[in-house]
A = this chain, B = another copy of it.
Amino acid sequence: MSQDARRYFSLPSPFAMKRGGELHGAHVAYETWGALNAARDNAVLVLTGLSPSAHMTSCAADPTPGWWEDMAGPGKAIDTTRWFVICVNSLGSDKGSTCPASIDPATGEAYRLTFPELALEDVANAAHAAVSSLGITQLACLIGCSMGGMSALAYMLLHPGSVRAHISVDTAPQAQPFAIAIRSLQREAIRLDPQWNEGRYDIHAEHGGAYPDMGMSIARKLGVITYRSAMEWNGRFARIRLDPEQREDEPFGREFQVESYLEGHAQRFVRNFDPNSYLYLSRASDWFDIAEYGHGSVLEGLKRIHIEQAMVIGVSTDILFPLQQQEQIAEGLQAASAEVEFVALDSPQGHDAFLVDIENYSRAIGGFLNRLPAA
C-alpha cells in the first residue's frame, strides 16, 4: 500500500475557467494537519509553487518528508498543534489535481492540450472551494510561496472576507519580462522537443513510448539556475571539477560539479512532472497580473485586497522575483490599510531560499503566526 495522505475535493461541475471553457467532474488534492477548532477560525492555507504537491510535511498517513518539512509540523513555525493547516495541490498540477494528464470525461482520453486555458485565478478558485467545503469561511492565515504567492493574491482579491492574515513569500504581483523570458524559454525547450509531439507523448512513460526528456531536462536546469543565486554557487561549487570517473565521457560533457548538480536536479524532475501540466502552469504564471484588477495599476489592484495583517518576505538574491516586487506587494497591502511587516532577507540561496534557509524563514513566519491575535 503506498503511503498517501491526500484527500480529494470534487469541484462544482461544471467549473468555469477564467479564460473560457469549463471542467467537468474535476477535483483538487489536498492534505491537512492538526485539527479545526470549534469556532473554525484556526485554519491556515498554503498555496504552493509550480511543482510541489500538497504533501508539505509528513504525517502519520504519509511519513515521507514533505517539501516544507522543516517549516510545518508540531512546534514548528507553522505549528500544527495550534493551526489546522491545509495545503492544496494547484488545479492543473499532476500531483493529484485535475490536470492536462487527467482523463477528460467527455472523451475518455487524457485532456492534453484540450485542457482549457489555465489561470492562477482558477487555481485560487479551486483552492477556495476546497477550503469552503471544510466548513471554513475565513482563513486565519493564507500563505503563498512563489507561484502560490500570486495564486494567494488572486484568492484574496476574488474572495473578499475569506482571509484575515496573509504571508507572502518570494513572489510577485505580476510577471515581469525577465521571468516571462525565462519561462518562455523553458516552454520552448519542451515544445521544440520532437518527443513532445504537440502534447501527444506517452504520459506515464511506462509503455516505453516517446517522452520529452530532453526538453524537460533543459527546462528544469534553467529553472534551477534561476531559483538559486550566483553568490551561493560561488561558495558551494566554485570551480571544483568532478572526479574523472564522474565526468561524462562524451564531447563537451560534464566536468564541473555545478554541471553535475544541475543534472541531478533534472533527472529527479523530468519523469516526475507531466510536461503538459508544466506548460499550463508556467504560462499561467506569465499571465498573472494584479494590475488587471486595478485599471492597469499594480498598486490599485493590491488596494482591492482587504485583510487585517500581512507579512511580506523576499530575498535580495532572488533574480526571478526580485525584492522590488515584494516591496510593491507590501506597499499595496499597506495602502489597502492592512498592518504590514516587510522582511527583506539576505539569504544567499536566491528564490529558493524559502525552501533552504529554514532558520530565517521560520523565524519570520513563526513569529508572525505566533503574534496573530485570536479571531
Q: Is the CB of A262 within 8 A of B230?
A: no
Which B residue sits closest to A225, measured CB to CB?
A: B181
Residues of A214-246 whose CB lies within 8 A of B = 214, 217-218, 221-222, 225, 229-230, 233-234, 236-239
Q: How far is B234's CA from A214's CA once the two chains are assembled, in angstroms? A: 31
Residues of chain B contacted by A258 (CB below 8 angstroms): 177, 180-181, 184
> Which residues of chain B are near A254, meaning CB under 8 Å?
184
Give the CA-CA distance A195 to B257 in the complex, in Å. Answer: 28
Q: Are A176 and B222 in contact (CB under 8 A)?
A: no
A187 located at the interface, meaning its Cβ lies under 8 Å from any Cβ of chain B in the complex: yes
Residues of B contacting A259 in the complex (Cβ-Cβ under 8 angstroms): 180-181, 184
B234 touches A176 (CB 8 A): yes
User: Which residues of A63-121 have CB atoms within 8 Å of chain B's CB atoms?
Assistant: 113
Inter-chain CA distance A254–B286, complex, in Å, is 12
When all copies of this chain in the complex are counted, the total is 2
B180 in contact with A283 (CB, 8 Å)? no
**Any chain B CB within 8 A of the CB of A191?**
yes
Interface centre among A174, A177, A194, A322 (most CB of B within 10 A): A177
With contact pairs A113-B251, A251-B113 given, residues A256 and B218 touching in the complex (Cβ less than 8 Å): no
Q: Which residue of B lies closest to A215 (CB)?
A: B192
Asked whether any CB of chain B lies closer than 8 Å to the CB of A331, the reply is no
Question: Chain A contact residues (Cβ within 8 angstroms of B): what range?
Answer: 35 or more
Kindly state whether residue A16 has any CB partner on chain B within 8 Å.
no
Which listed residue, B252, B283, B286, touches A283 by the CB 8 Å rule? B252
- Could you say which residues of chain B place their CB within 8 Å of the CB of A217? 188, 192
Chain B minimum-CB-distance residue to A224 = B181
**Contact indicator per residue, chain A 155-195, by CB within 8 Å of chain B (1) or not (0):** 00000000000000000001111111110110111011010
In the complex, chain A residues 41-81 whose Cβ is within 8 Å of any chain B Cβ: none
CA distance A291 to B225 in the complex (A): 25
- Is the CB of A344 closer than 8 A to any CB of chain B? no
Within 8 A of B (CB), among A252-277: 252, 254-259, 262
Given A113-B251, A176-B233, A181-B233, output 13 extra A-B contacts at Cβ < 8 Å: A174-B239, A178-B234, A179-B230, A184-B256, A184-B262, A188-B217, A191-B252, A192-B218, A198-B251, A230-B319, A251-B279, A252-B279, A256-B286
Can you spell out 27 A-B residue pairs with CB atoms less than 8 angstroms apart? Answer: A175-B239, A176-B239, A177-B237, A177-B238, A177-B258, A178-B233, A178-B234, A179-B230, A180-B239, A180-B258, A181-B221, A181-B258, A182-B225, A184-B258, A184-B262, A185-B221, A187-B252, A188-B221, A191-B251, A191-B252, A192-B217, A194-B194, A218-B218, A239-B291, A252-B279, A255-B286, A256-B286
Counting from the closest, the 8 A-B pairs by CB-CB distance are A178-B230, A177-B233, A177-B258, A177-B237, A192-B214, A184-B259, A187-B252, A181-B258
